[in-house]
Amino acid sequence: MSQFRGRRRRGRQTGSLIAGLLAASVGAAPVPALIGTDAADGTTPLIDADIDTIEQAQQAGKTTAEAMTRAHLSRIVAYDRGGPALNALIAIDPEAPVEAAALDRERAGQGARGPLHGLALVIADDLDTAGLATTGGSAALRGRVPEHDATVVARLRDAGALILAKANLSELGLDLGLPGYSSAGGQTRNPYRPARVAQGTGAAVAAGLAVAGVAADTLGGLRVQAADTGLVGIRPTLGLTSRAGLLPAALSLDATGPVARTVRGAALLLGIMAGVDEADPRTAEAESHLVGDYTLFLDEKALDGARIGVATDYHGGNREVDAAFRQAQADLRGAGAELIDIDVPRRVLEARSRLLDKVLETEPADQLHAYLRHSGEGMPHGLATLTRISRSPLIEGSPTPVSPARLAAYDAALASPGLADVEYLTVLANGLPAARAEIAELLRAKELDALVFPTTLCPAASRYDAYDESYDCDADDPGLPAYLASSTGFPEITVPMGLTRAGLPMGLSFFGPAYAEPRLLALAFAFEQATGRRRPPDLAGSGAGADDVDSAPDGEGE
């Protein structure tokens, strides 16, 4: 998958110069932090609006792509670099206002390409973006500037989207105990409570630094960050969206998907991203399942008469998450759904240790070599060199060294027997297919439209460098529910389920069989419309978790 279709763009300055370039781009035309409104009563700022509302405002001449882009840049200065110092972004396109102005001229002369025309997106830093450095969060890859967009990025750009920035992430797509930390980007802070962690894409979209985003998901990275920042995230069926141009964590598990403020926004992005790509053979089987516009399936009455399985094994990590999940079940019943308690098969509950870890240990050496072999002079061209540079005094002595767990994972991958390893081949040939078949049969036998469960067992974790005493988690692995989709390759959608008393978002996941995205989107949309649980973060108050935020249904604190 080293050769993929995508738009080629000239390289541009990034890195340490970006602060000056950003300040210059914002200073050229002062903009207010809030521009226009999206509600009829004039109460909701456009900067936190959904995709449809912003597009309608552009059509009506109430705002422009350039004005919105400058407003996003202004907020980056105020909140990502200043204020709570979210540290969500690694690289910013200094030409973004110029490109936005060009998209405005195109709209005026030829009309909009679609609802994404001129909207600013943020892309996780493990997806190639032409002209902007793509590091996967690795300091060893600083300065690596791809010539082409990843396929999903190219499709969004062709639809008129503006790629504003690259987002920080857990280094090489796996948190390994440090969510949202990378040696290239440092630690991203949660916009709802900066003493807690987040990953860059979710933090940026939640904070209004961009309209929506795209990220990768291996063991739940996309879903967890959406849940932790009060957003909608979709991990699609493995192969529905291309991974060409993705810095791989393990391609047997990797998927790419959207992060947005609403189910409709996420569905719109998914429809543009989905499709067969000759550069990613896994997408070939998706051809007969493509539906085009996923927003056509959104139905606020979809829960009425739906049979929903409740995954009873995912609880006990945090009292507020458990209480919010009980309330979500009551909401589902209130909307007409029939709920059936379901025990998750042991094979899936133990998938991390029995199946996934072997894949994560075996695939990186070969796949990273294939991805990096065309990198420019001076860049690592394989895992061994990447590991050696990651251990160099320059990086080890920096304020953001590579984490010991990340280095240990590199060592394990280098020591692996490789893709011919019998145990690994057994996992691919038997273990993962058996898990997939067992879950598919469970859904079929119970005649379920979906399974529901908390996206994570606990709210966002405390930062490692400044411990938040309010953090309360009794789960050995708060991300346990994520392995259901990772081990089966089936789709999962997370939607906001509420806020803790400390002001932290919690997510509810809808999970179903392969290519069930239309039905899951309908159910998630109905839940979203019935509950309206999302609240934007209070950035003006530094997102510190004020006492007056919405509390969990039973009023228990973390």
* Among 280, 121, 292, 281, CA closest to 209: 121
More confident site: 128 or 18: 128
Render pLDDT for 513-534 as a digit per residue (tens, 0 to 9).
Answer: 999 999 999 999 999 999 999 9
What pLDDT band is residue 238 in, cutting at 50, 70 and 90? very high
Q: Supply the pTM of this predicted model.
A: 0.91
Note whether 143 and 68 are within 8 A (CB): no
Residue 122 has a pLDDT of: 98
**H-helix segments, 446-482:** none
Residue 545 has a pLDDT of: 37
Instruction: Record the tokens describing residue 373, joined without a space.
Output: 């072999």
DSSP 3-state of 423: helix
Note whether 527 and 179 are within 8 A (CB): no
- pLDDT exceeds cutoff 60 at 21: no
The domain segmentation of the chain, as residue ranges, is 15-539
Place of tokens 């985003």: 213
Residue 505 has a pLDDT of: 98
Which value, to the nearest 10 degrees, does the dihedral of the CA atoms of residues 444, 449, 455, 457 take?
A: -60
* Among 203, 213, 204, CA closest to 234: 213
Residue 558 has a pLDDT of: 62
- pLDDT exceeds cutoff 80 at 108: yes
The CATH number of the structural domain formed by 15-539 is 3.90.1300.10
Render pLDDT for 116-142 as a digit per residue (tens, 0 to 9).
Answer: 999 999 999 999 999 999 999 999 999
What pLDDT band is residue 377 in, cutting at 50, 70 and 90? confident
Render pLDDT for 427-480 as a digit per residue (tens, 0 to 9).
Answer: 999 999 999 999 999 999 999 999 999 999 999 999 988 889 999 999 999 999
Render pLDDT for 306-324 as a digit per residue (tens, 0 to 9).
Answer: 999 999 999 999 999 999 9
DSSP 3-state of 164: strand
CA geometry: angle at 190 spanning 324 and 58, to 5°?
95
Note whether 295 and 267 are within 8 A (CB): yes
What is residue 397's DSSP assignment? T
Least confident of 208-222, 320-334, 371-385: 371-385
Q: Is 113 exposed, middle or buried (0-12, 13-18, 19+ CB in 10 A)?
A: middle
Residue 286 has a pLDDT of: 96
Render pLDDT for 396-419 as a digit per residue (tens, 0 to 9).
Answer: 999 999 999 999 999 999 999 999
- pLDDT exceeds cutoff 90 at 1: no
Instruction: Record the tokens describing residue 13, joined without a space.
Output: 């300055």
**DSSP assignment of 474-534, as one string?**
--S-TTGGGHHHHHH---EEEEEEEE-TTS-EEEEEEE-STT-HHHHHHHHHHHHHHH---
* Residue-averaged pLDDT of the chain: 90
What pLDDT band is residue 542 in, cutting at 50, 70 and 90? low
Instruction: Record the tokens describing residue 455, joined without a space.
Output: 């996206």
- What's the rounded Cα separation, in Å, for the pair 503 and 277? 41
